[in-house]
Structure 1
Amino acid sequence: MKEYRQNVAAIILNNENKIWLGKRADGASWGFPQGGIEAGEKPEAAIIRELSEEIGTKDFEIIGQYPGTLKYDFPKEMKFPTWTYAGQEQHYFLVRLHEKAKINLESHPEEIEFSTYQFLALSDLMKMDFGFKNEVYHQALAYFSNLIEKN
């Protein structure tokens, strides 16, 4: 049986209902902030910690959570030095930045995840190909689409 790393991920909205998309610092791809759930940590606490680490703010509110989890497998050529998971099992959250929120991609200089970011319309994201994460990204975006469009 495959073992999946327990993880959280965030779809982040600004006040114009545009969605945050970051370019990974390693240049590999564009994506949403995500990260592992630490031992004993609840998913809600993990997403707050991860967004603080990756985009440098806790100035947001959680407005939705995907029911259950979504999984993706890592490509076979993708190797990690400290673990051997088949992929990630993610708890997805929809969050809205507060109006005065400041994003700081260098808030944790020891581990910078993203080099730049942009905000895009849901319709633009639904046309994008996110590689091996594509199905999960599109499933999460589709699930949250009503909340994104009405808020």
Structure 2
Amino acid sequence: MAKIFRQAVMAVILNDEGKVLIGYSPRDRSYKFPQGGLEPKEDLICGIKRELREELDYHLDEQYILSIYEEKINYPFPPDCHPVWMGQELSIVKIRFDHTTNIIPQDDEFDELHWILPHELPNFETEYRAQAYWRALEIAGLI
């Protein structure tokens, strides 16, 4: 069976200073945006809410969603990384940070979080996701 791209969603969370949230993932040994695969028949809003709760204990109120973009990004996984998926195709959700909720890294998804200016992204090792992440920031109008 041929491998396909996993349908996924990622959050570009923007604070009042124009910075975006990235985190270091000890599991992936690189920096990444909050993101994850969609469950079967799960819509983007339900998916991003679930992923943010699972990864950061962040409870997203839909009023903070700024945009959901039609254009998607994708990246291939490293060879032999996953038995089913060849990579991820991500929908991008731009979110204004809600200061009334917490961001607390959960399990091994993230162990450190950083608010960075969008143009600083290349200073952080995002490995095989780098080009896709840069494109996501372009789509979101941040660079």
The two structures share one fold, judged by TM-score above 0.5: yes
Following TM superposition, the consecutive aligned residue runs of length 4 or more in structure 1 with deviations greater than 6 angstroms are none
Unaligned runs of 5+ in 1: none
CA distance in 1, matches of 2:31, 2:17: 20
Number of residues paired by the alignment? 140
Q: Distance in 2 between matches of 1:117 and 1:30?
A: 9
Match of 2:104 in 1: 104
Aligned counterparts of 1:71 and 1:12: Cα–Cα separation in 2: 19
Alignment gaps of 5+ in structure 2: none
The alpha carbon displacement at 1:9 in A equals: 0.6
CA contact (8 A) 2:11 2:92 kept: yes
How big is the shift at 1:131?
1.8
1:113 equivalenced with 2:116 (yes/no):
no
Give the equivalent residue in structure 1 for 2:77: 74
How far is 1:27 from its partner?
5.8
Please give the per-residue CA displacement for 1:44-75, whole angstroms capped at 9, x wherever unaligned. 11001100111111145111122132221111
Partners of 2:122 and 2:59 lie apart in 1 by 27
Matched, 1:137 2:133: yes
Q: Is the 8 A contact 1:126 1:141 kept in 2?
A: no
Report the Cα offset of residue 98 of structure 1: 1.1
Q: TM-score, normalised by structure 2?
A: 0.87
Q: Distance in 2 between matches of 1:132 and 1:90?
A: 14
1:137, distance to aligned residue in structure 2 (A): 0.3
Structure 2 counterpart of 1:95: 95
RMSD: 2.0
Identical positions, percent? 29
Q: Is the 8 A contact 2:52 2:60 kept in 1?
A: no
Deviations 1:62-91 (A, max 9, x none): 11122132221111142x3xx421111111
Q: How far is the alpha carbon of 1:32 from its aligned partner? A: 0.3
1:36 aligned partner: 37
The residue aligned with 2:86 is 86
Q: CA deviation at 1:135?
A: 1.4
Question: Amino acid of the residue matched to residue 120 of structure 1?
Answer: I
User: Which is worse superposed, 69-78 or 40-49?
Assistant: 69-78
Q: Distance in 1 between matches of 2:7 and 2:30?
A: 21
Structure 1 residues 64 and 126, CA gap change in structure 2 (3 angstroms): farther
CA separation in 1, counterparts of 2:23 and 2:124?
A: 13
